[in-house]
Amino acid sequence: MTVRVRFPPSPTGNLHVGGVRTALFNWLFVRKHGGVFVLRIEDTDKDRSNPEHNATILESLRWLGLNWDEGPYFQSESLKRHKEEVMSLLDRGLAYRDFSSAEELASERTRTKVNGPDRRAARRRAELVSVKEGEAKAQDGESHAIRFRVPEGQTIWKDMVHGEMKFENADIDDLVILRSDGSPTYNFAVASDDANQGITHVIRGDDHLSNTAKQILIYNSMEWMEPVFAHVPMILGPDGKRLSKRHGATAIQAYRDEGFLPSAMINFLALLGWNPGDDIEFMDLDTLIDRFSMDRVLKKSSIFDLKKLGWLSGQHFNSTPAKELAELLSPKLEAAGLITQDALKMREDWYLGLIDLLKTRARRISDLVELSEPFFSNDIEFDESAVLKHWLKDPEKSLMILSFLRSVFTEVDWDDTELESKIRAYAVQKQWKLGEVIHPLRVAITGREASPGIFDVLIFLGRDCVLDRLGNALDHLEKKTAETLG
Ligand code: GLU
């Protein structure tokens, strides 16, 4: 049997990170089993569905690398078949016409509020009209819905995550399956499409558990093959409430726009509701496919923790080749007005070296833009607070250090161990901590308080560039000192 799964988003909004997590579990499962991933767009809500949302959904899936093997199918294309199927249930007495008026439905809602639900109220009202009369009313165009006649008994299935699930049919409403406007409801359309598309495994959020009971009843009545169901846990915000905009961005594109890598998003989302069984959390896509299994999907909900995303993202930056990062970074650098993409192409080795130098400190592409800023010109901007903290507390000493370094750097072998041992010896001789030399040097070379390891930065920039920068720094420091004294 070929495993066939589906991802059926409704194009009524952006693709939610929770939806992506569900798509991902389907995708990992099907890739592991060499099956088929079907994409179906559930666009039957005409008022809320729109083509832009549809395009964003496809684009987001592509960005994440969650490729599909079939589709996208559009649910709206199957409306005629849905209707015919509902009619076949009606013919066999497994569904009935409900001519309830708006007033009747409203007063039923009020009664439900007071006395709790009366699941068979609609059926009893319908039974007041004979099937023949009903046919005649329908022929005359009288508005009505079609309801499914829930049979007696229990509905039981073996869920891949929850184990045996059991619903008393007495607790299930005679659900509307065809609205008065002729459109099928979600539970009917989804069961019909899953059956007609040969879906073998339905993996979706556990907010659908009670829908599954209804859909199984529909499967049975239509004599369709019932798929295996797996209900994956909800994703909550750090406060334990269902993840929503209050907790930050919920649309997957927001994370792309913020500069997270797709591999980091995938890794992060895979761990929401799936326990790999050991402490290894950093995984690429191939490892995830290899290790993912439904029996390690948890029942309990998981927390969307942005700190963890940041940490994982750092790991992914670190392990992504500079060349791949370059493709994402170049347009951003150009957009930030730092350097043109053409200029970067002419200095490719230098550029890739720069990315390797910086990527260990980045979690988002925007961090790389920020971190790389001091490297495009020797005419760097000095950060005021770094200057105050590391130079101007003792301007004399800072001048001495930078002048000393300039003379050492002119003749030392340009090698990181050499550079380091010279600087260490100087600190020892002066009875200073190493930081007392390193910090003013870092400000001189990068203009900032933080940077990658200073010896790596020196080697990357090269002697000429470093001397040039030290010269500028000394000028700047002299000017600042004069200002402070003046
Ligand atoms: N279109 C439905 C949704 O987005 C599909 C639910 C399902 O997987 O059955 O919630």
3 state DSSP class of 340 = coil
**Rounded-to-10 torsion of CA 60, 65, 68, 74:** 0
Count of CA atoms in the C-beta half-sphere (13 A) of 276: 16
Tokens of 53: 């949302």
Q: Answer whether 368 contacts ligand 1 (Cβ < 6 A).
A: no
Q: How far is the CA of 19 from the centre of ligand 1 (A)?
A: 9
User: Which residue stretches of the chain have pLDDT < 70?
Assistant: none
Tokens of 113: 């509020």
In degrees and rounded to multiples of 5, residue 33 shows phi and psi of: -95, 10
- Confidence (pLDDT) at 147: 98
Record the pTM: 0.91
Q: Answer whether 201 contacts ligand 1 (Cβ < 6 A).
A: no
- Confidence (pLDDT) at 47: 87
Q: How far is the CA of 204 from the centre of ligand 1 (A)?
A: 7
- Confidence (pLDDT) at 248: 86
CA of 205, closest atom in ligand 1: 8
- Confidence (pLDDT) at 282: 97
Is the bond preceding 72 in cis, omega lying within 30 degrees of 0?
A: yes
CA of 42, closest atom in ligand 1: 1
Structural contact between residues 206 and 231, judged by C-beta atoms closer than 8 angstroms: yes
Specify the amino acid at residue 316: H
- Confidence (pLDDT) at 254: 96
* Torsion sign across C-alpha atoms 453, 459, 460, 465: positive
- Confidence (pLDDT) at 485: 77
pLDDT digits (tens, 9 = 90+) for 277-326: 999 999 999 999 999 999 999 999 999 999 999 999 999 999 999 999 99
Structural contact between residues 343 and 372, judged by C-beta atoms closer than 8 angstroms: no
- Confidence (pLDDT) at 184: 96
> Residue 459: which of 423, 431, 417, 427 has the closest Cα?
417
Write the residue with the smallest CA distance to atom 8 of ligand 1.
204
Q: Where in the sequence numbering do the catalytic residues fall? A: 245
